[in-house]
Amino acid sequence: MRKLAKLTSILFVFVFLGMQFVPTATTPKTSATAGARMAEVINPQVGAILDRSCQDCHSSRTAWPWYSRVAPVSWIVSKHVSEGREMLDFSEWANQPHSTDERMLICDAVSDGRMPLPEYTVMHRNAKLSKRDVELICGWAAAPISGTR
């Protein structure tokens, strides 16, 4: 019985170590001015909130934490970031026009607590949105589109 437990433990270690060699997604290359252009078209207060709470999954300025390099957690984090960028990429925000309806989808997601993801805010407590943060985002989303989208 002890021999089986030892063999199982050794096998587990080798499988775990092998998993570390499975590549995960990384941050794509973008222009150095992408974030600056976003700041030009989004209200500065709202931009600061989006930077703090959204940029890791919804831009190409992801700050990959240490645990995002350890499989299988790396696969989960990479999947969340890829899906987040696919749905909404603030790195590309300034390059295209956005309707009030598109911005209201952001308001809806933060108002009902879907965003930021609860599992993200567990490790990134500063990403949690206050009631005031949600009000600012929704106010920006509902505002008529002008110089600041």
pLDDT score, position 100: 84
Highest mean pLDDT among 7-16, 20-29, 94-103: 94-103
pLDDT score, position 137: 96
> To which H or E segment does residue 6 belong?
helix 2-19
Rounded (to 5) percent helix, strand, coil in the chain: 65, 0, 35
Summarize pLDDT for 71-127 with one digit per residue, the tens. 888 888 999 999 999 999 988 887 878 888 889 999 999 999 999 999 999 999 999
Q: What is the pTM assigned to this prediction?
A: 0.74
Are 116 and 60 contacting, i.e. CB atoms less than 8 angstroms apart?
Answer: no
Are 74 and 68 contacting, i.e. CB atoms less than 8 angstroms apart?
Answer: yes
Residue ranges of the domains in the chain? 42-149
Between 87 and 10, whose confidence is greater? 87
Q: Rounded distance, CA 88 to CA 107, Å?
A: 13
Summarize pLDDT for 33-78 with one digit per residue, the tens. 555 545 556 789 999 999 999 999 999 889 998 888 888 888 889 9
pLDDT score, position 39: 53
Between 145 and 34, whose confidence is greater? 145
Are 56 and 65 contacting, i.e. CB atoms less than 8 angstroms apart?
Answer: no
The candidate with the shortest Cα–Cα distance to 141, out of 96, 101, 110, is 101
Tokens representing 71 are: 């499989």
Question: Residue 148: pLDDT above 50?
Answer: no
Are 82 and 45 contacting, i.e. CB atoms less than 8 angstroms apart?
Answer: no
Q: Rounded distance, CA 5 to CA 1, Å?
A: 6
Reduced to 3 states (helix: H, G, I; strand: E, B; else coil), residue 46 is helix
pLDDT score, position 149: 45
